[in-house]
Amino acid sequence: MKLYGLLSVPILLTLLCSSSTSANALSDLLITEQWAIKNTPRLSPQDNTTPIGTCQNKPDISNDQYTCSQYIPPGIDSIDINAEAGWQEFSTLPITQQEVVVGLIDTGIDYLHPDLKNRIWLNPGEALNVDHNNNGIDDGCENNTDSDNNGYIDDCHGINTLVEKTINGIGNPLAGNPIDSAIGHGTNMAGVILATGDNGIASGSQFHGGVIGVAGLASNVKVATCAAAEMKNDVYLTIPGGQGLYGTPESVTACLDYFSDLKEQGINIAVINGSGGASAFNNLIITRGAIRQKYWLNTPEVQAALVRLNTLNIPVVSAAGNNGWSIDHDEETMYFPASFELDNIISVAAINNQGSLWSNSSFGRWTVDIAAPGENILSTSPRVEITGSESSADYIVSSGTSQATAFVTGVIALLKANTNTAALSPIQIKRLLLSSGKPLDALKQTTRSGQLIQLTGDQGKGVLNCNNQQFERRHQPQQNNIFRIPGDTLYLEVHKYQCAEPNPENSITITVSPTSEQVTLYDTGLSPDKTAGDGVYSGNWTLPNEILDYQLNMGVDSVTQTVDYIDVNAKILVDNATAETKRTGWWWPSIYRSGYFAHNYRYAAPSTSTERTFSWEPNVPVAGYYNVYTANPAHSNFATNAQFIVSHQSPTSNTTITSTQSIDQSQGSGQWKLIGRYWFNQGEQTVMLSNLNADGTLIADVVKFVFSSSTE
C-alpha cells in the first residue's frame, strides 16, 4: 500500500459538526487558509490589491496571529465542499446517540495533537477512565495488559501492524500503540476528517485552535487508527534502494480484520479511510518504477477482508493514486483497493482550487467515483515531540488524492452521525455520492459521477440535502467504440439512481440504428441481470448477420447531459491493453503523447542486437481477405521504419506466409495506416512489431482487421 498526499519528507521520488456558527466566526486560527472549506478569493495582506489564494506552505504562527510567505493562485468561488452551509444543515438534523468511529489505515496518528486529542477513539475494553499521571493518556493504556482479550496489549486507540503482534509467544506492547511517525501522513488525514472545530484558546496560550475537519463540529465522531504503512527501501524493482511509503497486503488485511472485529463487538465503525494503495507500476518523475509484488494489494486476502466489511455495512474510501493516469483497465496501472469493483469501495480523485483535476491525480471514467479537494490542503502534522522539528510540526500544506479521500471520509462520517442517514448501507452511500454534488466539466470523463463532493447544494444537490437528483450512466461496455462481428453478443449495463435509492423503473429501452431494433435492459434479477431492484439495468444484444456499422442510443447520460452513443463496428480490433497481445522485453505503457487509441500505448527503444517484439493475436472468426491497419500517436522521435510482420495464409492452402511492411510512426498521429491486404484462415492470427534496426522509438498501440471480401 502506498500512501498518497505525503507530507514534505526528503525521500526519493515521492509524489506527493453540530453548530450553526458560520465558518468565519469560528475561533480556529487557520480556518481561512482552508480553501476546501470555503474557496473565496481575497486580497494580499501585503498590498491589499493583489488577489491571492490560501497559504502555499506552513503558516508561521506567533501568539494569536500567523503569516504566510507564499500564496497559491486565487481560487474560484464555490469550488469547495460548501462546508458552511453543510454545517448549518447538519446542525438541524437529529444526532445519533451512538459514537461514530472512523477507521483510519495509515502511518498512525498523533493522538495527543491539540486539534485531534478530543476526537480520538478510546477503546472501552482497555480504558480505566483515569489519568493519574496527567500525561493525557488513560492509565488503562499504560498498564501493559490485554484487558479486552483481543490479542493486543493496550490497544486504546487502535493497533500497529508494522510490528510483530507477539514476541516469543508474549504480546508485544508496540502492537497496541498506533502512534504516528515523523512522516505524519495519518495525522494529516485525521485533521482533514475531524480536526476539532471552534476550539481556539484566548490570546497568550500556546494553542490557538488551528484547522477544522469536515466532521470537526460533530462531537459524536471519533477516529480509531491502524498503522500499516512505513517507509520502505525495497519498493522498486528497477531502482535499487528507491524508497516509498507502503504497506503490505498482510499489514493492510490485519487492519481491515481489526476493524471488522470491532464492529462485530459492538463498536460503531462507520467508515474506513484508506488513503493508500498500490499498482504494478508507479509513474515516477525520472523513470517508470516497477513495484515489487509484495506491495500489491489486489490479493484474495485483501478482497475477502473488504467483502467482510461490506457485509458489516462499512464503506471503504480509497484514493485513486497520484500517478496522473487512468486506473480503469490496464493491469499495470490499475490501483488497488480503489480498482476493486465492490459495493463498499468508494474511490476518489483530487481537484485543485480552480475546479480542475489536480495534475498528479489518477482518474477513471469507469472506476473513480467522485472527486474532492486535494491540492495545497492545510491540515494537522505531528507535534515537535514526534517530528523533532518546529518547522514540520503541528500543521502543514500538502497535496494528494489522500487529502481528497479524507474529505469524502469526513462527509460520510457526518452521514453516519445523524439519525436520518446513519443506517445507509455502503451501496446506498455510493449511490448518494454519485447522484449528489457539484458538476464540473473537468470530471465528466475522468470520474463516474462527474462531480465534486459537497455537503449541501442548491436545489437538493448536496449529500446532506439530496432531493430528487438523478444519476443515469452506462457502466458496460466500458468503451464508446466497440468492434464486434456478426453473431457476437454484447453485454449492456446502465446504472440509474435517485439520491441514495435505485430508480423505481424496471426497464430501460436502447435503440439500434440503422435497423431500428430495440433492446430492453431489465432490473428484475433475471439473467443477465444479477439483482432485482438495485438500479443496475442489464441486457444482451446479438449482432445481426450483416457486416454493418451500428450505433446504439443508450439514452441521456446524466453527467454529460448528452445522448450516450456506442458505435459498434463489425471489424476486428486489438488494442495493446487487451488479452490478445504478447510482448517480449520491456514495452512501457504511456499516455504522454496524445493521439493514442483507447487508454494508452506502449513503447520500446530501437536496437541492432537485442530484439523486443509486440504481437497482436486476434481470433479471426471468418476466413477471407482483410485489410490490416495500425494507428499510433506520432512524434518526430518515433520510428519512420517500424517493421510490422504479418503472418497470414494462402487462400488455396494452409501454408503460412510472412510479410513485412514498414510504417512511418513519426507522422499521422491517431490515423489508421494500411499495413496491407491479406488472406486469413479462421483462427488465431499474428501481427508482430519488432524493434530491430528501427531509426526511432517503436510504438505499439492498436491494429484493426477490416473484412474485405472472400475473393480477389
Q: Please report, for the chain, the start and end positions of each structural domain, with discontinuous segments joined by +.
A: 2-110+179-467, 472-570, 574-709
Phi first, then psi: give them for residue 680, nearest 5 degrees. Answer: -125, 130
Residues 221 and 268 sit within 8 Å (Cβ to Cβ): no
Q: Give the DSSP per-residue string, 404-432.
A: HHHHHHHHHHHHHHBTTTTT--HHHHHHH
Domain 2-110+179-467 top-level CATH class:
alpha beta
Residues 121 and 158 sit within 8 Å (Cβ to Cβ): yes
Residues 101 and 121 sit within 8 Å (Cβ to Cβ): yes
561 Cβ neighbours under 8 A, 6+ residues apart = none
| Whole-Å CA distances, 323 to 320, 479, 591 | 9, 22, 11
Look at residue 546 and tell me whether its pLDDT is greater than 80. no
Q: How far is C-alpha 90 from the chain's CA centre?
A: 27
How much is the pLDDT for 10?
27
* Domain 574-709, CATH homologous superfamily name and number: Galactose-binding domain-like (2.60.120.260)
Facing residues of 60 across strands?
Answer: 67
**How far apart are the C-alpha atoms of 588 and 577, rounded to whole Å?**
11
User: From the CB of residue 431, how many other CB atoms can be counted at a distance below 10 Å?
Assistant: 26
The pLDDT tens digits of the residues spanning 262-311 come to 999 999 999 999 988 888 888 765 556 789 999 999 999 999 999 999 99
- Asked if 2-110+179-467 and 574-709 have one fold, the answer is no
Q: Give the DSSP per-residue string, 259-320.
A: HHHHHHTT--EEEEEE-EEB-SEE--SSS-EEBPGGG---SHHHHHHHHHHHHTT--EEEE-
User: From the CB of residue 555, how many other CB atoms can be counted at a distance below 10 Å?
Assistant: 18
Report residue 521's pLDDT band, with 50, 70 and 90 as the boundaries: very high
The pLDDT tens digits of the residues spanning 311-336 come to 999 999 999 999 999 999 888 899 99
**How far apart are the C-alpha atoms of 443 and 350, rounded to whole Å?**
10
Report residue 710's pLDDT band, with 50, 70 and 90 as the boundaries: low
How much is the pTM?
Answer: 0.84
Residues 119 and 194 sit within 8 Å (Cβ to Cβ): yes
374 Cβ neighbours under 8 A, 6+ residues apart = 5, 349, 350, 351, 352, 358, 361, 399, 400, 401, 402, 403, 404, 407
Higher pLDDT, 43 or 622: 43
How much is the pLDDT for 21?
42
**How far apart are the C-alpha atoms of 11 and 700, rounded to whole Å?**
34
**How far apart are the C-alpha atoms of 305 and 270, rounded to whole Å?**
16
Report residue 9's pLDDT band, with 50, 70 and 90 as the boundaries: very low
**How far apart are the C-alpha atoms of 630 and 671, rounded to whole Å?**
8
Q: Which DSSP letter does residue 193 get?
A: H
For the chain, the straight-line distance linking the first and the last C-alpha, in angstroms and rounded, comes to 57
Helices (H) and strands (E) in the chain, counts: 7, 46
Look at residue 662 and tell me whether its pLDDT is greater than 60. yes
Q: Are strands 451-452 and 438-439 parallel, antiparallel or unpaired?
A: antiparallel
| Whole-Å CA distances, 304 to 254, 257, 344 | 12, 10, 12
Residues 73 and 46 sit within 8 Å (Cβ to Cβ): no
Report residue 6's pLDDT band, with 50, 70 and 90 as the boundaries: very low
Residues 402 and 276 sit within 8 Å (Cβ to Cβ): yes
Q: Give the DSSP per-residue string, 115-178.
A: TTGGGB---TTT--S--TT-SSS-GGGGS---TT-SS-TT-SSEEETTS-SEETTEE-GGGG--
User: Collapsing DSSP states into helix, strand and coil, what is residue 321?
Assistant: coil
Q: Give the DSSP per-residue string, 359-402.
A: TT--B-TTT--EEEE-SSEEEEE--HHHHS-GGGSEEEEE-SHH
How much is the pLDDT for 286?
53
**How far apart are the C-alpha atoms of 623 and 621, rounded to whole Å?**
7
Specify the residue for cell string 488465431: 684
Specify the CATH number of the domain 472-570.
2.60.40
Q: Give the DSSP per-residue string, 688-702.
A: EEE-BT-SSBEEE-E
Q: Give the DSSP per-residue string, 74-103.
A: P--TT-S--HHHHHHHHHTSPBPSSPEEEE
Q: Which DSSP letter does residue 681 get?
A: -
Residues 503 and 439 sit within 8 Å (Cβ to Cβ): no
Q: Residues of the chain with pLDDT > 90: what percent?
A: 75
Q: How far is C-alpha 187 from the chain's CA centre?
A: 20
Residues 587 and 691 sit within 8 Å (Cβ to Cβ): no
User: Collapsing DSSP states into helix, strand and coil, what is residue 644?
Assistant: strand
How much is the pLDDT for 61?
86
The pLDDT tens digits of the residues spanning 76-93 come to 999 999 999 999 999 999
Closest CA to 358 of 315, 392, 403: 403
The pLDDT tens digits of the residues spanning 378-435 come to 999 999 999 888 877 899 999 999 999 999 999 999 999 999 999 999 999 999 999 9
Q: What is the mean pLDDT of residues 545-570?
A: 91
Closest CA to 658 of 636, 678, 635: 678
- The mean-pLDDT minimum among 191-195, 284-288, 441-445, 474-478 falls in 284-288
Specify the residue for cell string 494569536: 64
Look at residue 712 and tell me whether its pLDDT is greater than 60. no
Report residue 1's pLDDT band, with 50, 70 and 90 as the boundaries: low
Closest CA to 422 of 455, 464, 454: 464
Report residue 103's pLDDT band, with 50, 70 and 90 as the boundaries: very high
How much is the pLDDT for 288?
66
b/e per residue 336-352 (b: at least 16 CB within 10 A)? bbbbbebbbbbbbbbbb
Closest CA to 523 of 541, 509, 511, 513: 509
How much is the pLDDT for 243?
80
Higher pLDDT, 703 or 239: 703
The pLDDT tens digits of the residues spanning 663-698 come to 999 999 999 999 999 999 999 999 999 999 999 999
The pLDDT tens digits of the residues spanning 605-631 come to 999 999 999 999 998 877 889 999 999
Q: What is the mean pLDDT of residues 187-215?
A: 83
Cis peptide bond upstream of 621, omega within 30: no
Residues 417 and 218 sit within 8 Å (Cβ to Cβ): yes
C-alpha cell at 402: 489522500
How much is the pLDDT for 44?
86
CB-side neighbour CA atoms (13 Å) of 437: 31
Q: How far is C-alpha 649 from the chain's CA centre?
A: 46
Look at residue 2 and tell me whether its pLDDT is greater than 50. yes
